[in-house]
Amino acid sequence: MLVEEQTKATERIKWWQEAKFGMFIHWGLYATLAKGEWVMAASKIPVKEYEQFATQFNPKEFNAKEWVGVAKRAGMKYIVITAKHHDGFAMYHSKVEKFNIVDATPFGRDPMKELAEECQKQGIKLCFYYSHVIDWHHPHSVHEYYNNTWDYNLEEKAFYNYWHNLAKPQIQELLTQYGDIGLLWFDTAGGLSKKDSKELVEFVRSFQPNCLINSRVSHWPNIGDYQSKGDNEIPMYGEDSGPWETPMTLNQSWGYSDRDQVWKTPESIIRKMVNIVSKGGNLLLNVGPTAEGIIPEKSVEVLEQAGEWIERNGEAIYGTNASPFPYELEWGAVTIKPSRMYLHVNNEKWSDQLKLFGLKNKVVKAYLLADSEKRSLPITQSYTESIDHHVLGIDLPKDAPDQYISIIVLELEGNAQVDDQFMQQVSGSVNLDLVHAETAVEKNEKTAKWDFKITQPGAFDVVLVNFKKINTVWEDHYHEEVKVHIAGQGLKTIPQEDQLIKDSPACQYPYSEVHSILGRVHLHDSGNNSLALTCNKIQEKAFGTEIWQAEAVKLRSIKLVPIDKK
């Protein structure tokens, strides 16, 4: 990219990177069936029959002011709403296709217009989701896999008929009828050529040069302004060098489903948001309103409660940068600003003293974000030259001052600088993430290697950490021995599902975190060590983020867990 283009791109995305938290809204004709947004394909509903649902679609309760108000109270800075999903039904007044909410329903209003006005009033950016490749209503849309083959003959489809007569004209409408649009969220681009993908980006820019475009606009890499991860996927520290987001469900569905009552708690939302923001990402959190136009009560309740925490702690969220540490911290997470570090401490890890290894700066002052008087907390800082080890200790009041996560502010001399090598944490464990390993392939064997520092020698369990997608048979993925070499000791074993964690800071439905204990090792001395893992799950390059591309079992990291510590 030219320097000038790069500068423009950096400027364009600034608001979004500062915003951190947005509302996703999956709302469409499918809400009338209350079985999620894929119902048309799942039940192979013929177009003629599906069109009939429009004649009864009358979301009288829709109230733009209330919806935008919910987003505001949740602490969200932008809204991304489905202007057209895979069913092809336009949720706005389209002039190029009658199958839209104004022309085809008794409702007759344009909710996108009402939202645009309300967003403007309440200071929220409005953004549109547009399914640009999958369209089950149009006879000529062609996706690699997900086509309407129950009405139409795939062989008779002429993609460019769809592309030039529906997709592009509708995208143009969205960019010209509703004022400034923050971003266009494209999805499931399977089969779209590189040329058409790039042209689409140019097409969008020709109407609104500052409108952001997510990576799902194309399957070709490096097109669009930022990376949308797979649904509900949270990456490892440092996995992404550019801007990224996690699109996340509040229950287990995007579009309204009357059967799905598995709601995340406000606590879980806060923890995931903090984890994501500490890794430099954004959280795009979904609600699925009903056919009446109501955001389910339970979603509103969870969002408002999460919003109260964010309101109190916004200083440590909005406009921050990612943690400089290349691993998960066992007590929580870190965000930074110039000359400042925020320690987000999980309340169950709250104790008399918090210790942090590896911060090189002098700490000028430490205080609780919850303390309006900013009273100094007693601190000690030490450095041991022989093992190049920095330790910060902060004395804490007896009780955690906030709900779920309490934040300590560190005022630093200069911008945060940390020892970025892997090291043992305070509890004695070592977390080695795959993305930071040196990898090599030899004789068909893939090996990952890490160097790390030990400050408290002892005996350790070696634990392999994978994320496993629901309904995946573990043995289909791990049926060969993996090998570990560390400090002259070797382990060789087939990983088992020893511990299954359904919800952790970075893991959630449809994944669970699987811990496999590979064996026990002894580290006798302080200082530098290295670990080598040989395992065929070590990927050279991450997959794309199309539905079918999400890896069923993803190797994340290997951990050393001390066994003599309680």
Residue numbers at the binding site for ligand JFZ (CB under 6 A)? 37-38, 187-188, 230-231, 247, 254, 545-547, 549-550
Among 58, 468, 95, which Cα is nearest to 290's?
58
Please give the full DSSP string across 128-186, using - where no structure is assigned: EEE-SS--SSSTT---SS---TTTS-GGG--HHHHIIIIIHHHHHHHHHSSS--SEEEE
Among 203, 198, 228, which Cα is nearest to 16's?
228
Q: Are 531 and 449 in contact (CB under 8 A)?
A: yes
Q: Nearer to ligand JFZ by C-beta: 283 or 405? A: 283
Q: Nearer to ligand JFZ by C-beta: 205 or 469? A: 469
Q: Nearer to ligand JFZ by C-beta: 231 or 451? A: 231
**Which residue has the CB atom at the shortest distance from ligand JFZ?**
230
What one-letter code names the amino acid at 20?
Answer: K
Cβ at position 548, least distance to ligand JFZ in Å: 8
Cβ at position 325, least distance to ligand JFZ in Å: 27
C-alpha distances in angstroms, 159 versus 21, 163, 170, 196, 536?
Answer: 36, 6, 15, 11, 39
* SS3 state of residue 486: strand
Q: Nearer to ligand JFZ by C-beta: 225 or 546? A: 546
| CA gap 559, 459 in Å, rounded | 13
Q: Nearer to ligand JFZ by C-beta: 189 or 560? A: 189
Q: Nearer to ligand JFZ by C-beta: 257 or 305? A: 257
Angle between helices 297-313 and 266-278 (to 10 degrees): 50
Cβ at position 213, least distance to ligand JFZ in Å: 16
Q: Nearer to ligand JFZ by C-beta: 40 or 211? A: 40
Q: Which two structure tokens, joined as six digits, stand for 91?
A: 């949720």
Among 436, 458, 456, 426, which Cα is nearest to 359's?
426
Cβ at position 187, least distance to ligand JFZ in Å: 5
Cβ at position 86, least distance to ligand JFZ in Å: 6
**364: part of which helix (H) or strand (E)?**
strand 363-368
Cβ at position 395, least distance to ligand JFZ in Å: 44
Q: Are 235 and 279 in contact (CB under 8 A)?
A: yes
Cβ at position 122, least distance to ligand JFZ in Å: 24
